[in-house]
Amino acid sequence: MSAKVQCRIALPLMFLAVLCNASLNLAAQSSDVADARPVEFAMRNVTYHYSEPVAVHIAKLDGELVSTKDGAVVFFDDKNSFTLRLNYAQISISCTALAQVLNENVFSSSDAPIKNLSIESTNNQLIMKGKLPRKADVAFETVGRLSADPDGRIRIHSDHVKAAHLPVKGLMDLLGIDIAGLIDTKKIHGITVEKDDIILDSEQILPAPHIKGKVAAVHISGNDIVLTFGTPQPSNFAAKQPGNYMAFRHSDMRFGKLTMHDADLIMIDMDPRDPFDFYLDHYQDQLVAGYTKSTPQYGLRTYTRDYNKLRSRSAPKAGK
In tens, the pLDDT along 84-106 reads 999 999 999 999 999 999 999 99
Q: State the pLDDT confidence band at 113, using cuts at 50, 70 and 90.
A: confident
Give phi and psi for 199, each to the nearest 5: -120, 125
Q: 17 pLDDT exceeds 80? A: no
- Ranges 3-12, 48-57, 149-158: which has the least confidence: 3-12
What is the reported pTM? 0.81
Q: 170 pLDDT exceeds 60? A: no
Residue 47: alpha-carbon gap to chain centroid: 11
Q: 200 pLDDT exceeds 90? A: yes
3-state SS, one letter per residue, for the chain: CCHHHHHHHHHHHHHHHHHHHHHHHHHHHHCCCCCCCCEEEEEEEEEEECCCCCEEEEEEEEEEEEECCCCCCEECCCCCCEEEEEEEEEEEEEHHHHHHHHHHHCCCCCCCCCEEEEEEEECCEEEEEEEEHHHCCEEEEEEEEEEECCCCCEEEEEEEEEECCEECHHHHHHHCCCHHHHCCCCCCCCEEEECCEEEECHHHHCCCCCEECCEEEEEEECCEEEEEEECCCCCCCCCCCCCCEEEEECCCEEECCEEECCCEEEEEECCCCCCEEEEHHHHHHHHHCCEEEECCCCCEEEEECCHHHHHCCCCCCCCC
In contact, 222 and 150? CB cutoff 8 Å:
no
In tens, the pLDDT along 132-152 reads 887 778 888 889 999 999 999
Given this model, what pLDDT does residue 14 score?
38
Return d(Cα 126, Cα 209) in angstroms, integer: 26
- Ranges 222-231, 234-243, 285-294: which has the least confidence: 234-243
Return d(Cα 141, Cα 121) in angstroms, integer: 13
Domain boundaries, the chain: 39-93+230-311, 95-190
Given this model, what pLDDT does residue 237 score?
65
In tens, the pLDDT along 40-91 reads 999 999 999 999 999 999 999 999 999 999 889 999 999 999 999 999 999 9
Report which of residues 304 and 235 the model is more confident about. 304
Q: 190 pLDDT exceeds 80? A: yes
Average pLDDT of the chain is: 83
Quickly count: other Cβ atoms within 10 Å of residue 155's Cβ.
19
Residue 165 Cα distances to 87, 129, 134, 170, angstroms: 43, 10, 17, 14
* CA-CA-CA-CA torsion sign (225, 231, 236, 237): negative
Quickly count: other Cβ atoms within 10 Å of residue 48's Cβ.
22
Q: State the pLDDT confidence band at 161, using cuts at 50, 70 and 90.
A: confident
Q: 110 pLDDT exceeds 80? A: yes
Rounded to an integer, the average pLDDT of 9-17 is: 37
Rounded to an integer, the average pLDDT of 172-192 is: 66
Return d(Cα 232, Cα 1) in angstroms, integer: 81
Return d(Cα 216, Cα 154) in angstroms, integer: 9
Given this model, what pLDDT does residue 66 score?
96
Given this model, what pLDDT does residue 236 score?
65
% residues pLDDT > 90 (the chain): 60
Q: Which residues contact 2 (CB under 8 A, 6 or more apart)?
A: none
Q: 212 pLDDT exceeds 80? A: yes
Given this model, what pLDDT does residue 312 score?
57
In contact, 122 and 129? CB cutoff 8 Å:
no
| Nearest C-alpha neighbor of 300 from the set 292, 310, 312 | 292
Q: State the pLDDT confidence band at 22, using cuts at 50, 70 and 90.
A: very low
In contact, 53 and 37? CB cutoff 8 Å:
no
